[in-house]
Structure 1
Amino acid sequence: MPSRIPRTLPRLLALAALLGASPLALAAPGKTPSFDIARVANDIKILSSDEYEGRGPATRAETKTITYIAEAFKAAGLKPAGDKGSFFQDVPLLRSDIVGTPSLSMAIGGTATPLTQGDQIAVRAASTGQTAVKLDQAPLVFVGYGVKAPERNWDDFKGIDLKGKIMVVLVNDPDFEGGEGDFGGKLMTYYGRWTYKYEEAARQGAAGVLVIHESEPASYGWATVKNSNTNTMFDIVRSDPTKAHTAMEGWIQKDLATRLFQASGTDFDAAKAAARKADFRPMPLKATMTASYQVKPEIITSHNVAGVLPGSGHPEETVIYSAHWDHLGIGAPDAKGDTIYNGALDNASGTAALLELARAYGKGKKPDRSVLFLAVTAEEKGLLGSEYYAANPLRPLATTVGAINMDGPFAAEKTRDFSISGAAKLDLLTMLTEEAGKVGRHYTPDARPEAGSFYRSDHFPFAKRGVPAISYDAGQELVNGGAARGKQLADVYTRDRYHQPADEYDASWNTDSWQGDLALLYRLGDRLANGRTWPNWSADSEFRAAREATAAQRK
Structure 2
Amino acid sequence: MKLLAASLLSVSIALALSPAHAADAPTFDPQRLSEAVKTLASDEFEGRGPATAGEVKTIDYVSAQMQAAGLQPGGDLKDGKRLWTQAVPLLRAEITGTPTLSLKVGGKQQVLTQGSEVAIRAAMDGSRQVSIVDAPLVFVGYGVKAPERKWDDFKGVDLRGKIAVVLINDPDYEKPGVAAGQGDFGGKAMTYYGRWTYKFEEAARQGAAGLLIVHETEPASYGWATVKNSNTNTMFDVVRDEPGKAHPQMEGWMQRDLAVDLFKRAGLDFDAQKKLALTRGFKPVELKGTTFSADYAVDAKVITSQNIVGRIDGSQRPDETVIYSGHWDHLGVGQPDATGDRIYNGAVDNATGIAALIEMGRAFAQAKAKPERSVVFLAVTAEEKGLLGSEYYASKPLYPLGKTVAVLNMDALNPHGPTRNFTTSGSAKVDLLDALVDTAKRWGREYSTDLKPEAGYFFRSDHFPFAKRGVPAISFGSGNDHVDGGVAAGEAMGKAYTAERYHQPADHWEAAWPFTGMARDLQLLYAVGSELANAESWPNWGTESEFRAARDATAAERK
| TM-score over 0.5 for the pair | yes
Aligned partners of 2:100, 2:209: CA distance in 1, in Å?
Answer: 17
Aligned partners of 2:518, 2:264: CA distance in 1, in Å?
Answer: 51
1:477 aligns to what SS in structure 2? coil
Taking structure 1 as reference, are residues 344 and 411 closer, same or farther at Cα in structure 2, changes over 3 Å only? closer
Taking structure 1 as reference, are residues 488 and 16 closer, same or farther at Cα in structure 2, changes over 3 Å only? farther
Indicate which of 10, 13, 21 corresponds to 2:7: 21
Aligned to 2:25: 32
1:284 aligns to what SS in structure 2? strand
Aligned to 1:11: none
Indicate which of 352, 355, 369 corresponds to 2:355: 352
Aligned partners of 1:282, 1:411: CA distance in 2, in Å?
Answer: 47
Aligned to 2:278: 276
- TM-superposed CA distance for 1:268, in Å, is 1.3
1:167 aligns to what SS in structure 2? strand
Query: Percent identity between the aligned chains?
Result: 60
2:24 aligns to what SS in structure 1? coil
- TM-superposed CA distance for 1:378, in Å, is 0.2
Aligned to 1:232: 234
Asked if 1:152 corresponds to 2:149, the answer is: yes
Name stretches of at least 5 consecutive residues in structure 2 with no aligned partner: 15-20
Counterpart of 2:312, as a letter, is L
Listed one character per residue, the Cα deviations across residues 240-280 of structure 1 (whole Å, up to 9, x for unaligned) are: 00000011000000011001211222211101000000000
Name stretches of at least 5 consecutive residues in structure 1 with no aligned partner: 1-14
Indicate which of 279, 286, 297 corresponds to 2:300: 297
Indicate which of 108, 126, 130 corresponds to 2:127: 130
Deviates more, 1:113-122 or 1:174-183: 174-183
Contact 1:16 1:511 in 2 (8 A): no
Counterpart of 1:21, as a letter, is S
Contact 2:28 2:520 in 1 (8 A): no
Indicate which of 35, 55, 58 corresponds to 2:51: 58
Aligned partners of 2:484, 2:275: CA distance in 1, in Å?
Answer: 41
Contact 1:29 1:530 in 2 (8 A): no
Contact 1:17 1:508 in 2 (8 A): no
- TM-superposed CA distance for 1:29, in Å, is 12
1:335 aligns to what SS in structure 2? coil
Contact 2:132 2:292 in 1 (8 A): yes
Aligned to 1:244: 246
2:137 aligns to what SS in structure 1? strand
Contact 2:6 2:516 in 1 (8 A): no
Aligned to 2:402: 398
Higher relative contact order (Cα pairs below 8 Å, separated by 6+ residues): 1
Counterpart of 2:480, as a letter, is Q
Map of 1:335-484 to 2, 5 A cutoff?
Answer: 335-364=338-367, 365-410=369-414, 412-484=416-488
Aligned to 1:8: none
Indicate which of 90, 101, 106 corresponds to 1:109: 106
Contact 1:131 1:296 in 2 (8 A): yes
Aligned to 2:503: 499
Task: Normalising by structure 1, report the TM-score.
Answer: 0.95
Aligned partners of 1:488, 1:270: CA distance in 2, in Å?
Answer: 34
Aligned to 2:136: 139
Taking structure 1 as reference, are residues 16 and 195 closer, same or farther at Cα in structure 2, changes over 3 Å only? farther
Aligned to 1:4: none
Aligned partners of 1:182, 1:165: CA distance in 2, in Å?
Answer: 28
1:462 aligns to what SS in structure 2? helix
Number of corresponding residues: 539
Contact 1:30 1:523 in 2 (8 A): no
Counterpart of 1:350, as a letter, is G
Counterpart of 2:253, as a letter, is W
Contact 2:139 2:165 in 1 (8 A): yes
Listed one character per residue, the Cα deviations across residues 45-88 of structure 1 (whole Å, up to 9, x for unaligned) are: 00000000000001011011011111111112222111122111
Aligned partners of 2:260, 2:432: CA distance in 1, in Å?
Answer: 45
- TM-superposed CA distance for 1:16, in Å, is 6.1
Contact 2:95 2:296 in 1 (8 A): yes
Aligned to 1:80: 73
Task: Normalising by structure 2, report the TM-score.
Answer: 0.94
Counterpart of 1:463, as a letter, is A
1:337 aligns to what SS in structure 2? coil
Indicate which of 505, 508, 513 corresponds to 1:509: 513
1:398 aligns to what SS in structure 2? helix
Aligned partners of 1:396, 1:512: CA distance in 2, in Å?
Answer: 35
- TM-superposed CA distance for 1:512, in Å, is 2.9
Aligned to 1:6: none
Aligned partners of 1:144, 1:484: CA distance in 2, in Å?
Answer: 36
Contact 1:98 1:125 in 2 (8 A): yes
Contact 1:171 1:217 in 2 (8 A): yes
Counterpart of 1:477, as a letter, is D
